[in-house]
Amino acid sequence: MNNSQDDLKAQDDLKEQDANYSFDLASTLQDLTKRWFVILLSGIIAAIGCFITATQLYSPQYMTSTTLLVQSKNNTESAYNNLTATNKMAGVFKNILDSSQLQNSAARQLGYTSFPGNLSCSVIEETNILSFTVTSDSPIKSYRLLKAVLECYPQFTKNVVSSIVLQTLEEPVVPTEPTNPSNALKLAVIGFFAGAAAVVLIISVLSFYKDTVKKESDINKKLITQRLVSIPTQKKRLSVREKVKGIKRPLSITNPVISFEFREAFKRLRQKIVSDSKTHHNKVYAVTSSLENEGKTTVAVNLALSLAKMDYKVLLIDGDLRKPAVAKFLEAKITNGKSIIDFLRGKARLSEIASYDEINNITIMGSNKGTQQANELITGEKMDYLISAAREQYDYIIIDTPPLCFVSDAEDILTLSDSSLIVVRRNVANALSINDTIDIILASGVKLMGCVYNDAENVSIVGRGSVYSDYQYGKYGYGKYGKYGSTAE
């Protein structure tokens, strides 16, 4: 036994030194799906930031324009000569009207120290028509500036081109819309997708470097134990009414909508347990995990149900006294209101806490309420007596334990067991944490049969999409349960 533990420890040290990082599309998509709200929220925050920034930096510009016809006072010339002359004079007018002196004069007339806008003057090609535009940050301001320019220009042109007159063809009007529409909404949309994409990239990179068990082949590469069986991912098959009301079906082999592959997985696990029991004369099997929400309660309950189908006398014990879930998972009633916690406290007899489930042909010892004195109760003499008495009455005793990485209760339960199974859910626990858990199991002296790989992808032909998260521990800081408590376990 010691040599075996030393070998596993050496393997553990070797695998700690060489972390195996790999890209797995299914695990990456799972991480992204779990964090869809973070992605959405990041996109929204980025969109709001871009919208506010664009709005703050946006300065609307309004343009007022007019057109002037350049004419000669002397109409005796031919039309061609007249057009040629006035076209040239239009160029002269343009230079005068573009001058800073004219703009400053118009600004002073309105009370400004400098011209608060942009004045543009152009000659329409091959014509004697001038086009005036004034652009400013206010529609009224741009209109008043253009009017001031039209009023001031004669004093600059009368001594230069006295033989030319300007006739207004199009009167200036107050603009109603800016010439540069705001692009805040467009930038907000771009910001949303950019922000969401950035978070998607970050999550994908973190997923790549997350050293979890992402596929079956990772078990041999990363863990110091063998795989017993893979439990396939299950597809939700809830009616519209069940979805609306939030009704949740447990992942039980007795559920008629559970897949054939799911049932077969537990048949294979049952065969391994029966074989181990016959070979080593074991009866008490502890089902544990490293972290919360890995599916150990699902495995423990379904293993017990599968054994019961073969007419074995099976006792299912809920060893998670802080957060009991077995009774809720099976929707079983605690006999006479007496629980395993009452027995361990000396408030009930052993016969009073055994609840026989006639439908499933198993006996349950559990509780509907948890206690914070779990460690004290498990290490007491009552627990030893319970297991000893159960050995005499039952063929198999399955114990659902708490996660090993959170509390020491599970270690105390392991010492009462003959053998153990560790549930490893896909892409949940870090490989180092799992190996640390295995070391704890081996240090307790109990045999570890191997791991049950839970929520596995591509196990034969199974439906996609997971419902394991419907039955979860919640936060294992010993807070509140969900509707079914920790039934994912």
**275 with 257, same domain?**
yes
Residue 464 maps to a domain: no
Question: Is residue 158 domain-shared with residue 226, that is, in the same domain?
Answer: no
Annotate 418-482 with DSSP letters as a single string: SEEEEEEETTTSBHHHHHHHHHHHHHTT-EEEEEEEEEESSSSS---S--GGGS----TTT----
Model pTM? 0.69
pLDDT in tens, 123-169: 877 777 888 899 999 999 999 999 998 888 787 777 666 666 778 88
Element (H or E) spanning 88, and its range?
helix 79-97
CATH number at residue 327: 3.40.50.300
Q: What is the CATH number of the domain that holds 79?
A: 3.30.70.1130
Grouping H, G, I as helix, E, B as strand and the rest as coil, residue 170 is strand
Instruction: Check the CA dihedral 246-247-252-253 and report its sign.
Output: negative
Number of structural domains in the chain: 3
Residues 397-412 have a mean pLDDT of 89
Q: Are residues 302 and 165 in the same domain?
A: no
The answer to the question of residue 166 being in a domain is: yes
Decide if pLDDT at 288 tops 50: yes
Alpha-carbon distance of 320 to 339, in angstroms, equals 13
In a domain, 4, yes or no: no
Question: Quick one: how far is CA 277 from the chain centroid?
Answer: 43
76 falls within a domain: yes
The mean pLDDT value of the chain amounts to 82
Residues 128 and 253 in one domain: no
> Which pLDDT does position 238 carry in this prediction?
60
| Residue 205 resides in a domain | yes
Q: Quick check: helix, strand or coil at residue 285?
A: strand
Q: In the structure encoding, which two tokens stand for residue 287, read together?
A: 């089902």
The answer on 365 and 236 residing in a single domain is yes
Q: Is residue 486 part of a domain?
A: no
Query: Do residues 228 and 121 share a domain?
Result: no
Sorted by sequence, the CB contacts under 8 Å of residue 325 that are 6+ apart come out as 297, 318, 400, 471, 481, 484, 485, 486, 487, 489
Statement to judge: residues 374 and 387 lie in one domain: yes
Tokens representing 431 are 């490989």
| Mean pLDDT, range 411-428, rounded to an integer | 93
The pLDDT value recorded for residue 251 is 87
Q: Are residue 193 and residue 110 in the same domain, yes or no?
A: no
CA distances from residue 376 to 87, 288, 379, 465 in whole angstroms, order as listed: 106, 19, 6, 40
Residues 33 and 134 in one domain: no
pLDDT on residue 163:
65
Q: Pick from 1, 281, 58: which is nearest to 187 by CA?
A: 58
Axis crossing angle, helix 296-308 with helix 260-280, rounded to the nearest 10: 70
Looking at the chain, the whole-number percentage of residues with pLDDT higher than 70 is 79
User: pLDDT value at position 51?
Assistant: 95
pLDDT score at 479: 35
Instruction: Report CA torsion sign: 346, 347, 351, 353.
Output: negative
Nearest to 304 by CA among 422, 399, 425, 416: 399
243 shares a domain with 154: no
Q: Is the pLDDT of residue 7 over 60?
A: no
* 121 burial level (CB within 10 Å; 0-12, 13-18, 19+): buried
Same domain, yes or no, for 49 and 68?
A: no
The parent domain of residue 192 ranges over 24-58+182-209
| 304 lies in the same domain as 221 | yes
